[in-house]
Amino acid sequence: MAKMICCLRLVGDPAKLYLLLSCPIPMTSFSDNELPSLAAELEPRWYAVYTHARHEKKISEQLSQKSIEQFLPLYETVHRWKDRRVRLQLPLFPSYVFVRIALLDQPRVLETPGVVRLVSFSGKPVPLPDLEISALRQGLSSGLRAEPLAYTALGRRVRVKSGPLCGLTGKLVRRKENYRIVIAIESINRSILCEVSVDDVEAVGSASTRGEKTRQSPLSHCHDLSPQLFTGDFSG
């Protein structure tokens, strides 16, 4: 009798767990190299979803209705219309929504009206580091001020060692008398500009970041160290 491959996943109501059984497939049909690939498709990861312009909020709502974990970073801006000012919540990354799914659930995302595709390389969706998404979510929820910025390579590379963006790396720039950190999502060639204190960052490759590698958590270095000053001008 052929062995069956089965997987567990949540469908519809998160309170109900369904056992999905695939068609009978002999286990011998999978090589040792193919099994890790199958396991990877079952592991939820963060991906960037490219959308039609100005569809981000609607798509975010529809994904939530499907019980798909999603993240739409927003920032507040003021627009002047005729004789009044209006505060608006706009996407930090225009035309992008982030989802945390197993690759087997791609169809549920792609069938959503307004979705174009998952950001991919050589035809394969590119997963995003969990640290980038979690730090960004934490920063925005704590009131971090951020705004979109054209993708740039300017600035000195630094790592945030304390504060809501702890653990992220970016480019430190100076706008007038204030410092900002440019956080780039390289897979989509988009950047955002966030307020930062120079006391919260350290240069990548500085004495405190070099040395023997340890098995510490990526966030284990998030503590207060001696302040360092970095210079770099940014016009914009």
* pLDDT tens by residue, 151-183: 665 678 899 998 888 989 998 887 666 788 888
Residue type, 206: S
Q: Which fold has domain 43-128?
A: Alpha-Beta Plaits (3.30.70)
Average pLDDT over every residue of 227-236? 37
CATH 3.30.70.940 location in the chain: 43-128
Q: How many CB atoms lie within 10 A of CB 132?
A: 20
**Is the pLDDT at 42 greater than 80, yes or no?**
yes
Name the least confident of 12-16, 27-31, 36-40, 64-68.
12-16
For residue 236, pLDDT beyond 50: no
Inter-residue contact 58 to 39 (CB < 8 Å): no
Please give the mean pLDDT across all residues of the chain.
76
Q: What percent of the chain has pLDDT over 90?
A: 40
Q: What is the pLDDT of residue 198?
A: 83
pLDDT at residue 101, as a whole number: 97
